[in-house]
Structure 1
Amino acid sequence: MAIEWRKNFATNDPHIDEQHQQIFRFANKLETIAQQADVDTREVDHLLSFLETYIQNHFRYEEACMLKRRCPVAQKNRSEHVAFKAFLTRNVEAYRHNGYSQQWAQQLFEKLENWLSNHICRVDVKLRDHPEKTTASSSAANR
């Protein structure tokens, strides 16, 4: 079943929320692929390449936001990102070594779906409590 973006996943950072939604869309493409009997492995290659790059960039941005906003779960966030990148790397290597299988794709989707919803709901949403400080309020105080 496709993973759906829900309002309770929102971090109130439009850039991060859009990135999360994009990752969900690509996770759902993986699910669609896993349901097909005949798969074009170039599509799988493209999807994995995208996920590796996109997640790397997303994690970097999100971690910087958490540090900048002094979010108390910043280190936990980073640790979970490191573990997830290792998980994804292992799965990509397994695919490259063993080739595509429907079972591999289904398991990867299930783990990805689980991790995304659990991580976002437990960790990323903490950004809501630590909004970015605007310079408008600080410049008004200086007048």
Structure 2
Amino acid sequence: MDERFAWDPALETGVEQVDRQHRRLFKLASTLSSCSLDENCDEDTVTDAIYGLTEYVTEHFADEETLMEQASYPGLGPHRSRHEQLTADTMRYVARFFNGERVAAEELSEFLADWLAAHIERDDKAFAVWLRER
């Protein structure tokens, strides 16, 4: 596995559902990266990997926002905005891929792994601390 996509235990938030989904997101990003770089991996497999990752990102964001809503987290609005921005950025990579740029799949996996690590450190951990303090 490429180290860029290795799960770092330092990213644990202490919220098991969130951490489990984060680990899965990194694994899906790794799968997409590996497949996009493998010349033996056909276009349908890369497409399936892109769909799998983008669908799970959407599912994760919805689950995370629901958790925040249930807890009446005051930072939900800005957090949701960051999720929406990532979704828009992700769709730009997906569009590039479907316009014939196979390299966009590798770039998408790198972008998501980097973005997620920063988002977890800054935003998700802030929510986890707030939740524990309640």
Q: After the TM superposition, which residues 86-125 of structure 1 pair with which residues of structure 2 at under 5 Å, given as runs?
A: 86-98=88-100, 100-101=101-102, 103-125=103-125
Give the conservation status (yes or no) of the 8 Å contact 2:13–2:128.
yes
TM-score norm. by structure 1 comes to 0.80
Q: Residues of 2 paired with 1:31 and 1:53: CA distance?
A: 16
The runs of at least 4 aligned residues of structure 1 exceeding 6 Å deviation read none
- Aligned AA for 2:37? Q
Residues 35-81 of structure 1: CA deviation (Å, up to 9, x unaligned): 32333111111111112221111101101212322334322211111
More helix as a share of residues: 2
Greater relative contact order (Cα < 8 A, sep 6+): 1
Gaps of 5+ in 1: 134-143
Residue 40 of structure 1 aligns with an amino acid whose one-letter code is D
- Two-structure CA RMSD over aligned residues (Å): 2.1
Query: Size of the alignment, in residue pairs?
Result: 132
Cα distance in 2 between the residues matched to 1:62 and 1:83: 15
Per the alignment, in what secondary structure is the counterpart of residue 32 of structure 1? helix
Q: Is the 8 A contact 1:69 1:130 kept in 2?
A: no
Q: Unaligned 5+ residue runs, structure 2?
A: none
Give the letter for the 1:77 counterpart.
Answer: H
| 1:90 aligned partner, one-letter code | R
Cα distance in structure 1, aligned partners of 2:114 and 2:32: 14
Q: Tell me if structure 2 keeps the 8 A contact 1:23–1:51.
A: yes
Match of 1:5 in 2: 7
Which is further off, 106-115 or 70-79? 70-79
Q: Aligned partner of 1:13: which letter?
A: V
TM-score (norm 2): 0.85
Superposition pairs of residues 1-143 of structure 1, within 5 angstroms? 1-2=2-3, 3-98=5-100, 100-101=101-102, 103-131=103-131
Structure 1 residues 112-134: Cα deviation after superposition (integer angstroms, max 9, x where no partner): 1210111111101123213379x
Give the Cα separation in 2 of the matches to 1:49 and 1:34.
13
